[in-house]
Amino acid sequence: MKVSESWLREWVNPPVDTATLARQLTMAGLTVDAIEPVAPPLKEVVVAEVRSVKVHPDADKLKVCAVFDGTTEYQVVCGAPNVTAGARYPFARIGAELPGEFKIRKAKIRGVESSGMLCSAAELGLGDDSAGILELGEALTVGSDLREALGLDDQVLEIELTPNRGDCLGVRGIAREIGVRNQMVVEAPAISPVAARNDDRFAVQLSAPEGCPRYLGRVIRAVSPAAPTPAWMKERLRRAGLRPIDAVVDVTNYVMLELGQPMHAFDLNVLKGGIVVRNARAGETLELLDGRSVDLDDQTLLITDASGPVAIAGVMGGERSGIGSDTKDVFLECAYFAPAALAGTARRYGLQTDASQRFERGVDWQLQFSAMERATELLIAIVGGEPGPVVDTVSESHLPVRRKITLRLARLNAFVGTSIAEDEVEQILLRLDFALLERTGSGNRSVWTFAVPSHRFDVEREVDLIEEVCRVRGYDSIPARSPTTALTLSKVPLDQTPRQRVRALLVDLGYQELVTYSFIDPTLQDLLDPGAPTLPLLNPMSQEMGVLRTNLLPGLIEALRANEARQQSRCRLFEVGRVFAPGTEGPVQVMRVGGLIYGEQLPQNWSQPEQAVDFFDVKGDIERLLALRGREGAAFSASIDPVLHPGQSADIILDGHRVGRLGQLHPELQQRLDLRRRAFVFEVEFDAVTPREPPRAAGLSRYPSVRRDI
C-alpha cells in the first residue's frame, strides 16, 4: 500500500516529522518499508500553455509550437502526438536539468530553432509514461513552478500490511490509526447524499446472497467520458502506484484508495436485462479488461446480465461492458462481498488486483453508501451527468453481525505484566471506533463490553482487544520483566541414560550432530534400503521429498556428499531421529541413533601421520556408546547386508536381540553415490542404548586395603 504523506495530512496532521510519523505507523503494526520522494529535484520546469501548433516544414511527425510560460513566448519543436493548442504542459526552460543529468539547451531540430522542451512524465521522473507529454489541468496557473503546482514536495510511504488489516488499505484507515496514536480528531471529507435528478433504475438480483449480501447500483446518464481527469487526482493515483486511465475509472480508483471500498462502472447501454450476482455455470467464459479470456469454474462468483458474465465479482471487470470513449450512460456499482466467497478466486485465474486484495481481507460492510455518494459527487463534478436514485439490493440475513466482546482489566494487566488505568483503556478503544455497550466495576475489577466496528474483521476475542490497547499505547511502553514461576524438581530415572548424555558422548568422540528431513527422495530410499516397503506422502513438498525414511542413512549420506563437494576430506556425523515402518494403524515411529565416519582418523597435524578410518574405528565408537549401559551383554556378529560391504559389516547384538548394524558402505553403492573414499556407518535402536544398570549402594569395609606385589 502506497500513500502520499500530504494526502494523509489532509485527514489528520500531527505535529511530527515524516520519520516520526513512519515510526508511529510501524509501532502500530503498519510497517513502513520505505519513504520515497514523489519526484526528483526539478528546477526551471514550469506550467506552460501551448498557444499554437504547426507542422514542422521538414518532418511529418514533428510540430513547431508557440509555448507561453507566463512572461515570454518560446518556439519549441515537439514530437509528442498529444500536443494540442490551448492545453497546458510541463515546460523545461533553457538551463533546466532533468533526471539523468539531462540539461536543456537551445538547439536546432531539422533546421528549426527550439528553445526548451515540453516534457513527458517519464522525462520528469513522475512515472513510466513516455508515449506523450504530460497533460496538466486548466486549473494550474501558467508560469507557476511545476513542483509547487503539483505539490511535488511530498513523500510516499510504502506500507507493508499484515493480512488481517484490510481496514488500512485506504487513506481513511491509515489516518484513523494516526489520529488514535496522536489523540487527534480525523477530519474526513464531508460526504453528502447526491440528490437524484431522474428516476432511472437498473434491476439487480442476488442469486448467491451468501457471497454477495449487498449490492448498490446507480444509473448516471449523459456523462462526458472524454472529460479529462483533474491533475490533482492523477497525481494522487500516480503516487499510490496506479496509472490514470479515464475520468470514470479514475474516480472509482480514487474512492478505493481514499475509503478502501473497491467500485466498478459499467457502460449501461451495453448491459442487457438486469444484473444477476451468481456463481458461474459449466462452460462459461469471460474476456477480461486485460484482454485475457478465462474459463470459469462453478466456485467463481460472477456479475452477469442477460447475455452472460460481465465481471468476476470483486476481482476484475469484463471487456464487453467496460467504459469506452463512446459511453454516454454509466451504471455505477458498489458491493459487499464476503471474504470467504472470494478467497483464492484471483489466484485461480492468475490475477492479483487492488479490488481482490481488499475484498479477500474484508471490506467494511457498512461503507457502501458513503462510497457510492462520494463517487457520484466526484463523477458529476468531472464528467457531468444526471444521477438516478441509489438502489440497495440486500439480503439482511447474510450480512455480518457486529460482534460483542467482554474485556476484563485484571486480565489485561495480568497478560501484559503491567498496570494500565481503566480510563486509558476505555479511551483507546473508543478512539478505535469500538462502541461501549456496558461497563461494570471499577479499578482493577473494571469489565467492559464493546461492539466491534464493522471494518475490523480480525477482532474476535478478548485477547484481540488486549492487543489493540498494547499496540496503540506502544509496545515500547511495556516494561521488560523476567517471568517468575514455581519450579518442581523432575524425577531422574536411575535405570535410563539421559538422551543428552548420548549426544554429548558422540560429540566428545568428534562427531557433529545433524538434523535432517524425515522426507526423502524415493530413489535414495531404494538405494539405501532396497526391498523395504515405501511410505509415500499424500501431499509431498517436492518429488525429492516424496517418501518417509525407513533408516537414517539418507540424511547422513546427503550431508556427506555436500561436505565432500566442498572439499571437506574428513567427516564424523551423527543424528538422533525417528524412522518409519508400515503398521496396521499407520506408520510406526522408531527412535534411532545413526552415525558416519569418513576420511582421516584425526584432523591434519604435523605430528601425526595420515591414516584413513577403518571398520575398527566405528566399532570402537559403538563400544563406547554401549558402555553407557553399565553392564555387559553386547556382542557383534558378522552379517550380510545389501547396503554394507560383505566382509566389513556386523550386526549389534544385545541380550540376544539384533538392535543395530555397522560397517563399510558397499563399494558398488559408494561408486553410485560418487564418493571418492570409503565411508563407515552405524545405526542403533535408541531405546537399546539408554537402559543402564542402576547404581547400587553398599557399605564400606571396616578393614584397610591390602596391596600385594607378586
Confidence of residue 605 (pLDDT cuts 50, 70, 90): confident
Write the DSSP assignment of 362-412 as a string of letters. Answer: ---TT-HHHHHHHHHHHHHHHH--EE---EEEE-GGGS----EEEEEHHHH
Residues 416 and 407: their CA atoms lie apart, in Å, by 14
**Total-model pTM:** 0.70
CA 497 remoteness from chain centre: 46
Where is average pLDDT lowest: 344-358, 516-530, 689-703?
Answer: 689-703
pLDDT digits (tens, 9 = 90+) for 433-480: 999 999 999 988 999 999 999 999 999 999 999 999 999 998 888 888
The three cell numbers of residue 620 are: 570402537
Choice between 357 and 495, residue whose per-residue pLDDT is larger: 357
Q: Show the 3-state SS of 302-348.
A: EEEECCEEEEECCCEEECCCCCCCCCCCEEEEEEECCHHHHCCHHHH
Mean pLDDT of 266-270: 94
The residue to which cell 462526458 is assigned: 224
Residues 217 and 23: their CA atoms lie apart, in Å, by 41
| Length in residues, the chain | 710
pLDDT at position 637? 93
Is the Cα dihedral 102, 105, 109, 114 positive or negative?
positive
pLDDT digits (tens, 9 = 90+) for 673-689: 999 999 999 999 998 88
Confidence of residue 400 (pLDDT cuts 50, 70, 90): very high
Strand partners, 318: 288
- H/E stretch holding 43: strand 43-55
pLDDT digits (tens, 9 = 90+) for 547-557: 999 999 999 99
Confidence of residue 371 (pLDDT cuts 50, 70, 90): very high
pLDDT at position 644? 95
Contact 448, 412 (CB under 8 A): no
Mean pLDDT of 162-173: 93
Mean pLDDT of 266-272: 94
Smallest CA-to-CA distance from 360 within 396, 314, 423 is with 314
pLDDT at position 294? 92
pLDDT for residue 395 is more than 90 = yes
Where is average pLDDT lowest: 205-209, 223-227, 680-684?
Answer: 223-227
Q: At what angle do helices 247-259 and 231-239 cross, to 10 degrees?
A: 50
Smallest CA-to-CA distance from 691 within 490, 501, 510 is with 501
pLDDT for residue 311 is more than 80 = yes
Strand, helix or coil at 473? Answer: helix
pLDDT for residue 495 is more than 80 = no
The residue to which cell 453481525 is assigned: 401
Residues 465 and 450: their CA atoms lie apart, in Å, by 9
pLDDT for residue 111 is more than 80 = yes
Neighbours of 456 (CB within 10 A): 22
Confidence of residue 672 (pLDDT cuts 50, 70, 90): very high
pLDDT at position 426? 94
CA angle 343, 345, 347 (to 5 degrees): 100
CA angle 325, 328, 331 (to 5 degrees): 105
pLDDT for residue 494 is more than 80 = no
Choice between 171 and 691, residue whose per-residue pLDDT is larger: 171
Q: Half-sphere exposure of residue 413, counting CA atoms within 13 Å on the CB side? A: 15
Residues 549 and 522: their CA atoms lie apart, in Å, by 9
> What distance, in Å, lies between the first and last C-alpha atoms of the chain?
92
pLDDT for residue 492 is more than 80 = no
The three cell numbers of residue 586 are: 499407520
Range with the largest mean pLDDT of 131-135, 148-152, 333-337, 624-628 = 333-337
Residues 622 and 511: their CA atoms lie apart, in Å, by 12
